[in-house]
Amino acid sequence: MLKKKIITVVNAVSPTSMPINEFLLYRRKNFGEEGSVLTISPLKENHKNIFKDLKITSFKNGILSFIKYLWGNSNQILHLHQPKSALLVVLITIILPKRFFRVVTIHNNFEKFKMITRLLVLFNSLFATSITFVSHSSYNSFPKFFKFLFKNKCKPITNGVDVSRVDVFLKDKIVAEKTNESIELIYIGKLHKQKNHDKLINIFSKLPKTYRLTIVGEGEDRKKVTDKINRLNLNDRITITGIVPREQVYDLLIKSDIFVSTALWEGMPIGVLEAMSCYLPVILSKIPAHVEIQNESDINFICDSIDEFISKIQDYANFSSKERLDLGIKNRKVVEDNFILSIMHKQYDLIYNKFNGN
């Protein structure tokens, strides 16, 4: 029996997309899979060179060609990652006289979804062959009725990081004790209220002038974040990089001293896991996904109030660079044991192989 194609369905393709990087590109590199994508929005002009080898079919580039693609790929696996694009594909495929296997992956916690998104997730799940959650905290956040209704479909599969990709970058680098003159803090996350940059900047504003902060990301709150930085006269100590290639992210991480996340919610934060993979100590907000990582560690890195963050940051800053590296080594071990993509994809293979008759 021929192995079924896995078609990734997302709203749009971007360099920071978790479904593209941790699913499609990882499986293409490690399993030799083709890597086809269905989207609502077409690929942005400045991303075309990055994804020139991907076959991308966009709804907005032609409805008939989109439907024709689905018709020609019946009996394949549609991996649906985002509620809007999932709804589009579900609506089309349920009226086509063809068979499709639909895997719905839920990337966030139920209480953080707007009501319309909850309804979309429920509708898409009705027609899913399998439903996965990117963390146990995401699975646990869903109401009992949902898990009862779809009990034979639901499975939490913890997200992971591609440590091999990190190590390819690190092989020519020396992960050693830092000799920075200032204390370099770093945060990876889109500029969106979810990531709670407002709290991060409030924390940073109370730290001595020997501290610097790099924010890696871009988003709709860019002006709001930069206005606050300027208002507090912190623009000479805070840098916003925008979207940068992953290898540059790793470079920024290994040059930093401490990773800090003030996020209000997460499914399973890849940026945190990448920081830990790069041997950084981390300080994280008290949310279920962060606590899920904490539960696999003997280091207490969870904080809640601004004062707790400031205290923990200054504690780590007062450590010797060797002590901070020792924390980073422990963090790396936590990732290797619990949060790597090879473990995650073994679990997904069990689902995909059921559709292949294995």
214 Cβ partners below 8 Å, 6+ apart?
A: 184, 185, 186, 187, 238, 239, 241, 252, 256
pTM: 0.91
Query: For residue 261, what are the β-bridge partners?
Result: 284
Same domain as 320, residue 171: yes
Same domain as 153, residue 13: yes
Residue-number span of the structural domain to which 36 is assigned: 6-159+341-355
Same domain as 198, residue 72: no
Q: What is the CATH number of the domain that holds 326?
A: 3.40.50.2000
In a domain, 1, yes or no: no
Same domain as 145, residue 21: yes
| Contact yes or no for 187/216 (Cβ under 8 A) | yes
| Contact yes or no for 42/61 (Cβ under 8 A) | yes
Tokens (6 digits) for 212 = 């610097």
In a domain, 25, yes or no: yes
Low-confidence ranges of the chain (pLDDT < 70): 1-2, 172-178, 357-358
Same domain as 173, residue 134: no
In a domain, 149, yes or no: yes
What CA–CA distance (Å, rounded) separates 276 from 281?
7
Same domain as 194, residue 262: yes
Query: With left for phi above 0 and alpha for psi between -120 and 50, is residue 84 left, alpha or beta?
Result: alpha
In a domain, 61, yes or no: yes
> Measuring CA to CA, which residue among 128, 177, 175, 174 is closest to residue 154?
128
| Contact yes or no for 271/188 (Cβ under 8 A) | yes
SS3 264: coil
Secondary structure element (H or E) that encloses residue 177, with its range: none
Same domain as 169, residue 298: yes
In a domain, 70, yes or no: yes
Same domain as 88, residue 69: yes
State residue 309's pLDDT score.
98
What single-letter DSSP state applies at residue 242?
Answer: B
Q: Let me know how long the chain is.
A: 358
Same domain as 97, residue 231: no
Tokens (6 digits) for 114 = 């707007």
State residue 227's pLDDT score.
97
Secondary structure element (H or E) that encloses residue 140, with its range: helix 136-141
SS3 39: strand
In a domain, 273, yes or no: yes
SS3 213: strand
Same domain as 182, residue 326: yes
In a domain, 141, yes or no: yes
State residue 247's pLDDT score.
87
What CA–CA distance (Å, rounded) separates 342 from 348?
10
Q: What's the half-sphere exposure (Cβ side, CA atoms, 13 Å) at 299?
A: 22
Query: Considering the chain, what is the average pLDDT of its residues?
Result: 94
In a domain, 239, yes or no: yes
Same domain as 249, residue 132: no
State residue 267's pLDDT score.
92
Per-residue b/e over 168-177, b at no fewer than 16 CB within 10 Å? ebbeeeeeee
Each residue's pLDDT tens digit, 147-167:
999 999 999 999 999 999 899
Q: How many domains does the chain have?
A: 2
What single-letter DSSP state applies at residue 1?
Answer: -
Same domain as 238, residue 214: yes
